Amino acid sequence: MAKIGNIDVGEFPLLLAPMEDVSDPPFRALCKEHGADVVYTEFISSEGLIRDAAKSVMKLDIYEKERPVGIQIFGANLESMLQSVEIVEKSGPDIIDINFGCPVKKVVSKGAGAGILKDIPLMVSLTEAMVKHTKLPVTVKTRLGWDSDSIKIVEVAERLQDVGAAAISIHGRTRVQMYKGEANWTPISEVKNNPRMHIPIFGNGDVDTPEKAMEMRDKFGLDGAMIGRASIGYPWFFREVKHFFETGKHLAPPSLEERIDAARRHLQMAIDWKGEKLGVFETRRHYTNYFKGIPHFKEYRQKMATSDDAADVFAAFDEVERDFAGYEFA
């Protein structure tokens, strides 16, 4: 049974990865409903939070039904990170996560995200200060190292544990790799197999089939799997993995009705959360993904993705329900 601080997250938990513009409250709620054990917000800038930037602050919203939920923050300045911990706490998350893995230039150039992999002492001292500054469990998400010549993740993980990190999620790529090549889970299992480690080590990178999740558990011996891209447009992935673990068989893909229901609820939750205009606009690419595989769908997708009016989008869902009734997804 894995525990993040005092939070029991079950045997081999499946975690929804933090994903910018994807892991918003409606999407997290759907993933939770379909089997995600822990969900994380997208990364939130500590500098944005302390400046009270509206966009950053809105990302702090969480629903009761998605718990346990972690809010992820990034930054490289100690003072800003500590101040943002206080702001984040007011939203009542269960976990605070630090992003030490984002590879994009605008983050890395400020020494944040994966940029910190070039300054391990700072990574450790920031983590320590944040752990001391909050009663919430602090988790870390990181990569194997800066580049293939600087993979010291076994030592780094041990130091993060020693200063109080409650769990570590490791993406099996270096910063230099960005998203290229295949994720390498071997160094992650070396972290787990270090006899000094006692906190959960979650594996991340390329889990896109139930078999891969099982491999992460049985062959690599990790404590849980963090899942990102496989869930985009497909929140059912979590339940499919769980079904496979329980039965050794693949669950049939969700029916058209289930997909329509998810799209309707996703849109409604987004409207309730952000208002009609933003709700319709910002969730377009999610719910159109739910229908991937239906042939000749362009006309319907266009209706869903171009209207600013929620009523038109709901009407498009009704049309899909009517026109493709009984469609069997592969």
At CB < 8 A and 24+ separation, what contacts does 322-325 make? 324/256, 324/294, 325/256
Residue nearest to ligand FMN (CB): 228
- Please report how close the Cβ of residue 178 comes to ligand FMN at its closest, in angstroms: 10
Cβ proximity to ligand FMN: between 105 and 322 the closer is: 105
Instruction: Count CA atoms within 13 Å of residue 84 on its CB side.
Output: 30
Contact 10, 48 (CB under 8 A): no
In terms of CB distance, is 14 or 256 closer to ligand FMN? Answer: 14
For residue 56, give both structure tokens. Answer: 């950053």
CB of 295 to ligand FMN, least distance (A): 26
3-class DSSP state of 9 = strand
Identity of residue 263: A
**180 or 322, CB closer to ligand FMN?**
180
Q: H or E stretch including 270?
A: helix 256-274
- Please say which residue, 168 or 320, places its beta carbon nearer to ligand FMN: 168
Q: How far is the CB of 72 from ligand FMN (least distance, A)?
A: 6
Q: Which of the following is catalytic: 102, 256, 260, 269?
A: 102
Cα 56 to Cα 84: distance, rounded to the nearest angstrom: 11
Please answer whether residues 154 and 191 qualify as being in contact, where contact means their C-beta atoms are separated by less than 8 angstroms.
Answer: yes
In the complex, minimum distance from the CB of residue 211 to ligand FMN, in angstroms, rounded to a whole number: 14
Long-range CB pairs of 154-158 (<8 Å, 24+ gap) are 154/187, 154/190, 154/191, 154/194, 156/120, 156/123, 156/124, 157/191, 157/194, 157/197, 157/201, 158/194, 158/196, 158/197
| Residues making contact with ligand FMN (CB under 6 A) | 17-20, 22, 42-43, 72, 99, 101-102, 141, 171, 204-207, 227-230
Enumerate residues 6+ apart whose C-beta is below 8 A from 136: 5, 89, 93, 94, 95, 96
- Rounded distance between C-alpha atoms, residue 172 and residue 141, angstroms: 11
Smaller CB distance to ligand FMN: residue 156 or 316? Answer: 156
Nearer to ligand FMN by C-beta: 85 or 230?
Answer: 230
Is 102 marked active-site?
yes
Give min distance, CB of 15 to ligand FMN, in A.
10
Nearest-approach distance from CB 127 to ligand FMN, in angstroms = 15
**Which residues are marked as active site?**
102
